[in-house]
Amino acid sequence: MANNRGSNSKEAITTASVVASGTLAALKLLVGWLSGSLGLLAEAAHSLLDLISTVITLLVVRVAAVPPDSNHPYGHERAEQLGALAGMTLLGGTGILILYHAFDTIFLHPGSPAVTVWSFAVLVVSLVVDFFRARALRRAAASHESSALASDAEHFGNDMLGAISVLVGLGVVALRHPLGLPEWLVTRADAIAALIVAGIAFRSVWVLGSKAVRALMDDVPIGLTDRLKKRVESVDGVVRGTVMIRTRFVGNRPFVEVKLGTVRGTSLESAHQLSEVVEKELSSELGNAEAIVHVEPATTPDEPRAAGVRAIADRLGLRVHNLNIYLAAKETLIELDLELPDSLTLAEAHRHSETLEAAIMKELPGPVLVTVHLEPRSDEPKPAVRHLPSTHRVEEALSKLPEARNVRVQDVLVTDEGLVVTLEKTFKGTNSLAQTHELMAGLERAIYSSIPDVVRVHVNPEIAP
């Protein structure tokens, strides 16, 4: 609804400008033709171009308000730059025509126009109208961030300078006898004023036309990319030297594409949170920016070896656990369990193992020795039953083990492979994780020794009250 109100407001201002341009062009053309003033005719041509330019602006404002669609995913706001460029092209053509007639009058056919009160009246009216019109358009351009309205405001501001020049030229003709002005100046003053009008037209063409071209060529403000890059690299989690940024403006709406690196092994959730933080940083610089952030894993000089191994396995689509890394002199020894589907043949599993080993040895620095334990994995549920006598047997065995103090049997399952035992054991909350793990490992070893048909033990640690 707000967009519709803004579009209607721009259209209302542009429509009023169309009426004003048409009226001024008609008045200047009539008085210029009757008086023979080249300056007034130049101003009339300029106002006629103002009319055409403002009509173009009215059309492009309507087109720019059309929401994005499948063929224009960034919207239609660049229609405003196209309209400004079309208006400047017409203005440039008119400037060339005025320039030709001015030079003809100055160097080949000098002559002074008939000056009447109407000549001055129409220029004074033009000044007043252009003043209020330019002021209204500047306010509207700032309010709606419209380059088309800003172009028209600049245009009409320059028109005021042209009208003042023509007034001075006609004043020279009107005061020729009271001031005793030389004939060469009187017969050329009006044409000189027309030259100034052409010069102002060319200035508008250069300033506004080059601005429209830069916008259509995806030009961005100097230093913007470096500022955005610095902001993104300041975000915690972004690896320095990996940031690439591309920015484009469609109308006044910035669209930013960012590619950045983060440490390998980062979860998808963490990567998403990082992208949201980056988007907020971009918005703090550009306001209403629409950003697309692409996060890639990146290697850092201080990356832990374990993180590197897990990242390599993830990249290859492999699952590893029980990863242990040792440093013996200058050699890195890596031991890990590689989980593979139990339906694979040994040859197929071995190829996966060799691929993983080669990738680790290639990426990790220094001499590396990799030992891979192949572990079959079944992704389908395994059949199991609860057997009360088996539960009693496990409880009786635990009662005889000194490692089983503060232990409660949570579950005992009978599977095709053997017994799977789940226990709950309480520990002091002040124990370190390493101490707790060692105590659980000792309990597991004791159970395996005392109950031969147990194939797996899960110990759930709880904190003692």
Dump pLDDT digits (tens) for 84-138.
Answer: 777 777 777 777 877 877 787 677 767 666 666 766 777 787 778 778 877 877 7
Q: Coil, helix or strand for 307? A: helix
Which pLDDT score is estimated for 10?
57
Q: How far apart are CA 273 and CA 255, in angstroms?
A: 20
Query: Vertex 44, ends 41 and 47: CA angle to 5°?
Result: 155
Q: How far apart are CA 206 and CA 209, in angstroms?
A: 5
The kind and range of the H/E element at 377 are strand 368-377
Which pLDDT score is estimated for 272?
92
Q: For the chain, which ranges sit under pLDDT 50?
A: 1-6
Exposure string over 285-322, b if 16+ CB within 10 A, otherwise e: ebeebebebebebbebeebebeebbbbbbeeeebebee
pTM of the model: 0.59
Ordered by where they begin, the domains of the chain are: 2-216 (1.20.1510.10), 224-298 (3.30.70.1350), 305-377 (3.30.70.1350), 384-463 (3.30.70.1350)
Q: How far apart are CA 332 and CA 46, in angstroms?
A: 80
pLDDT tens-place string over residues 287-343: 778 899 999 988 887 788 888 899 899 889 999 999 999 998 889 999 999 999 988
